Amino acid sequence: MVDGILTEGDGAMKSLPERIMGYAEAKPEAAAIQAEDLLHLGDRAAVSRALSRLSRSERLMRMAEPLDRRLVHR
8-70 topology per CATH? Arc Repressor Mutant, subunit A (1.10.10)
- Give the pLDDT of residue 29: 86
- Give the pLDDT of residue 5: 56
Distance CA 63, CA 69 (A): 7
Domain ranges of the chain: 8-70
- Give the pLDDT of residue 67: 66
- Give the pLDDT of residue 74: 59
Cross-strand bridge partners of residue 21: none
- Give the pLDDT of residue 1: 53
pLDDT digits (tens, 9 = 90+) for 14-66: 999 999 999 999 999 888 888 999 999 999 999 999 999 999 999 998 877 66
- Give the pLDDT of residue 43: 95
67 vs 8, 11, 14, CA distance in Å? 29, 30, 23
